[in-house]
Amino acid sequence: MHQPLAASAEALLLHTLLQLSLIMLAARLAGHLARRLGQPRVVGEIMAGLLLGPSLFGLLAPDLFHWLFRSRDGTALTIMSQIGLIMLMFQVGLEFDFGQLGEGRNRRAVILVTASGMVLPFALGSAWGLASAVPLRSGESLAYPLFLGLALAITAVPVLGRIMMEYALTRTRLGVITIAAAAANDALGWVLLALVSAAASQHLSFAAMAETTGWLLAYGLSSWFLVRRILVLIVRRFDHGTDALPQDLLAILLIIVFSSAMLTSRLGIFAIFGGFMVGVLLHDQADLVEAWKQKAADLVTVFFLPIYFTYTGLRTDLGALDSGVLWSWCGALILLAVVGKFGGCYLAARLAGLPPGDARNIGILMNTRGLMELVVANLGYDLGVIPREVFTMLVLMALVSTLMTAPGLKLWLPASGHRLLAGRDA
């Protein structure tokens, strides 16, 4: 009885190792190509995920594609992709100097950009959903336009963080305002997603939502005023410099990050936010931040993260858009997404007193969606609310909005007084 089980486990291991090797190879090659074309490496990784899916690989070699990615249980890749996102969000939290939010003008900018970056794209996405409900979904459902509104309102914090690291914006006022607004935007988005998902699955309870919101507030306040002090004491007990990360300290950090991720998952705003929160709590420990970047960051960006992009790419089939009508709907969706996020955040930044150059940069950064909004699309797809064609449109919208980021930064960063630097090669 044990031999067949061991043989099956060994076969699954070999299959998974083959998948991982192909994913990393494709991600590195596509990342290098993206950098040569003036795009952030993460754009190449997103493209690699799409090309390994049914849109290209599955089209050119369907039998090989099915054997490699569909013939065995994909749970291993799914779990590793989620762990990678949690670790990346911890890394993003570490990288940013949130001390700059102590200035009142910066806090006001974060609040206004968060609100406008959520409300306007949500309204436009919901309107697109209402208009497309009958022709694209062949039915009416309130959950459908709400899912579309959320998909347009979400900013891809992991991808945004990666881009900011590459452009050396993590310790600037512009970067801190943007990442704080994006994180607040997404935290609100996760709460709304829980509400919409409950409505779609017929399990909506406003009392339960109020309770969840209360627990989230308690989590945030206790993390900042209590847990942060405990974490600082723990870090300072270890003898470490900018190039040394003791194994015991690394183990403790991982346990804390995973525990925070489990807690936020139970509270309904997804595990990745828990990782981000721990990073924020430790962002001012300069030696720890540098030691993490020297010793652990590369494993996250080289190994774990490409798995996530590939996982979503495997569910995306561009061949689903097989008519001019569908492509017209897709074009309208992309246009509304850009107008809503870029336009809304630009106007909010100007209202907060920021100069036009900074406002444009904030707008183009907040417009970055990467594949994070596909958490919304994946859930809607799994619930049967979002059809396959619309799911594919959302992937294209995410890709186009992310492709716009680098050209926008190269055009507007120098004009607003920021040197156009290439940061650490993520």
Which range of residues forms the domain containing residue 159? 12-416
Flag whether 425 is in a domain: no
Flag whether 275 is in a domain: yes
- Is 278 in contact with 260 (CB distance < 8 Å)? yes
Identify residue 32 by its one-letter amino acid code.
Answer: H
- CATH number for position 202: 1.20.1530.20
Q: What is the pTM of this model?
A: 0.75
* Measured distance CA(378)–CA(399) in Å, rounded: 16
Query: Which residues, 6 or more positions from 67, have their beta carbon under 8 angstroms from its beta carbon?
Result: none
Flag whether 328 is in a domain: yes
Residue 287, Cβ neighbours under 10 Å: how many? 16
Q: What is the pLDDT of residue 287?
A: 86
Flag whether 423 is in a domain: no
Tally of domains in the chain: 1
* Measured distance CA(176)–CA(173) in Å, rounded: 5
Query: Which residues, 6 or more positions from 111, have their beta carbon under 8 angstroms from its beta carbon?
Result: none
Flag whether 287 is in a domain: yes
Q: What is the pLDDT along the chain (426 residues), one digit of tens a residue?
A: 455 666 677 888 888 899 889 988 988 898 889 888 888 777 788 788 888 888 888 888 989 988 988 777 778 888 888 888 888 888 878 876 666 666 667 888 999 999 999 999 999 999 999 999 888 875 667 788 988 998 898 887 777 877 887 788 877 888 888 988 888 887 777 777 767 776 666 555 667 667 777 887 888 899 989 999 999 999 988 866 666 788 899 999 999 999 999 998 887 667 877 888 899 899 888 888 888 888 888 888 888 878 877 776 777 777 778 788 899 999 999 999 999 999 999 999 999 989 998 999 999 999 988 656 766 777 777 778 888 888 889 888 988 888 898 899 888 988 777 766 554 444
- Is 40 in contact with 309 (CB distance < 8 Å)? no
> How does DSSP assign 185-248, residue by residue?
HHHHHHHHHHHHHHHHTT---HHHHHHHHHHHHHHHHHIIIIIHHHHHHHHHTS---TT---HH
Flag whether 2 is in a domain: no
Flag whether 268 is in a domain: yes
Flag whether 332 is in a domain: yes
Q: What is the pLDDT of residue 101?
A: 64
